[in-house]
Amino acid sequence: MIDFNKMVDNYIRREQRPKAVGRYYPSEIGLCMRKLWYSYKFPSEIEPDLLKIFEVGNILHDFVVDVLKSDKNPEVDLIKSEFPLRLDREEFVVSGRVDNLILLKADGKEVLVEVKSTSDVALVNEAAPHNKMQLQLYMHITGIHNGILLYLDKKNLQSKVFIVDYDEEEAKRIVERFGMLHDKLKVGKLPEPEARGSKETIWQCKFCEFRERCYAATPSSGRWL
């Protein structure tokens, strides 16, 4: 008998390479600053179960691309998907290939579509702040200021769409977050555990590979969950 679970683990396993301080990735800026800092200082292999979650997201993204480029949906024109982004600053670079971003033309204008998978779309009543942060950055880098967050249910392919208006000041603050991360990495200063600051963001800790290290450095208190 074949062990298909093991075969899947082998298939999706990624080679873990240390990150270089000074090069940052567009898709990460919405994450907890401390988690990002740890990922540079203490790189670790991503757990297979988490990789599977990522892979399901990739599969759903490919499905969305097929839907958008289908002749059955002539009201939209798929321009490209999975494309590189780059932002150069004096001390650091933000660059990477964005796998869950799609550029299409609808109603005569170009629109960036960020695809997010969810376990229950019925519970998604508004776009998540960290997702909006990512899309703001993408709109800022590309100069395409029409953005949509598309949430797709993993179990039934139901979806919800949220329009995100471009905000130049917000985009600049997001870029400044990379500068803050860069400065803290250079001097070795541990950032605050942002995700533990509220009930709305504590869910990130459930999937964080640095959870134990984080709580050891900053135990739960009146300020941090």
Q: pLDDT, tens digit, for every residue of 111-121?
A: 999 999 999 99
Instruction: Report the SS3 class of residue 78.
Output: strand
Segment 54-75, tens digit of pLDDT: 888 889 999 999 999 999 999 9
Classify 109 in phi/psi space as left (phi over 0), alpha (psi -120 to 50) or beta. beta
Q: CA of 39: how far to CAs of 17, 30, 42, 160, 169, in Å?
A: 11, 14, 5, 32, 28
| Torsion region of 145: left, alpha or beta (phi above 0 gives left; psi -120 to 50 gives alpha) | alpha
CA dihedral 93, 99, 102, 103 (to 10 degrees): 40
Q: Distance between CA atoms of 85 and 146, rounded to whole angstroms? A: 16
**CA dist 58 → 63, 102, 175 (Å):** 9, 13, 26
Tokens of 34: 């401390």
pTM above 0.85, yes or no: yes
pLDDT tens sequence across 170-184: 999 999 999 999 999
Sequence spans of domains, the chain: 16-217
Q: For residue 200, what pLDDT band results from cuts at 50, 70 and 90? A: confident
The CA distances from residue 44 to 16, 39, 96, 98, 164, in Å, are: 7, 7, 20, 22, 34
Q: Is the pLDDT of residue 45 over 80?
A: no
The residue-averaged pLDDT of 38-45 equals: 90
pLDDT the model gives residue 154: 94
What percentage of residues in the chain have a pLDDT greater than 90?
Answer: 72
- pLDDT band for position 100 (50/70/90)? confident
CATH number of the 16-217 domain = 3.90.320.10
Residue 52 CA to residue 5 CA, distance in Å, equals 11
Residue 14 has pLDDT above 80, yes or no: no
Confidence at 97, pLDDT banded by 50, 70, 90? confident
Amino acid 224: pLDDT: 96
Integer angstrom CA distances of residue 160 from 154, 172, 213 = 12, 28, 36
